[in-house]
Structure 1
Amino acid sequence: MTSLESGNAMPATDPALERQLARLIVDTLHLEIEPESISPLDPLFRDGLGLDSIDALEIALAVSQSFGMHLKSDDEQNHQIFANLRSLAAHIAQHRTK
């Protein structure tokens, strides 16, 4: 079981992957912000970037295409996976095929 699965502190992620993911989110959602302005620990939804469930679906599709992995809409861990940039990057690092 990974620390993400157990609810403990998140594993260290590659800052380059976090930057790549921030760029992917900004480009995919056509956000009018710089990717560098997304803090790895700020929430992606609600008070953070203010994303919604449609945005999550678009991000999941972009992640699938870019990293060769699938994020399932019915995954019970989605709340944790999409909590912030760092948690999403950690999940991608563990499951990517590209």
Structure 2
Amino acid sequence: MEALHNELKTLIIESLNLEDITVDDIETDAPLFGDGLGLDSIDALELGLAIKKQYNIAIDADDTNTRQYFASVANLADFIAANRA
């Protein structure tokens, strides 16, 4: 699972052009939005597209659980792992 966590952190950095941030700067359980990494709704859309492109998993923006999936790298990894099977 740690490999997927690092993969996702790299995906976040690359897809959102976060030039001053490294994989080590992103905590696996820290919030991606708000007080954590500070991403916004535009970032969520970009990240959703990047996930669809890399993992062929679509995240439904209207799904009530979407906010939970995007809460942290750990949650996103769990979502991807569950949907990749």
Common fold: TM-score over 0.5: yes
Report the counterpart of residue 82 of structure 1 in structure 2: 70
Aligned pair 1:22/2:9, yes or no?
yes
Number of aligned residue pairs: 84
Unaligned 5+ segments in structure 1 are: 1-13
Q: Find the aligned partners of 1:54 and 1:96 in 2 and give their Cα distance.
A: 25
State the TM-score, normalizing by the size of structure 1.
Answer: 0.83
Report the counterpart of residue 26 of structure 2 in structure 1: 38
- What's the CA shift for 1:58? 0.3
What secondary structure, in the 3-state scheme, does the structure 2 residue paired with 1:20 have?
Answer: helix
Moved over 6 A (4+): none
- What's the CA shift for 1:35? 1.4
Q: Find the aligned partners of 1:58 and 1:41 in 2 and give their Cα distance.
A: 20
State the TM-score, normalizing by the size of structure 2.
Answer: 0.95
Please give the residue correspondences for 1:50-65 in structure 2 after superposition, counting only pairs within 5 Å: 50-65=38-53
Please tell me whether Structure 1 or Structure 2 has the larger radius of gyration of its CA atoms.
Answer: 1
- What's the CA shift for 1:79? 1.5
C-alpha RMSD over aligned residues: 0.9
- What's the CA shift for 1:96? 2.2
Identical-residue share of aligned pairs (%): 43
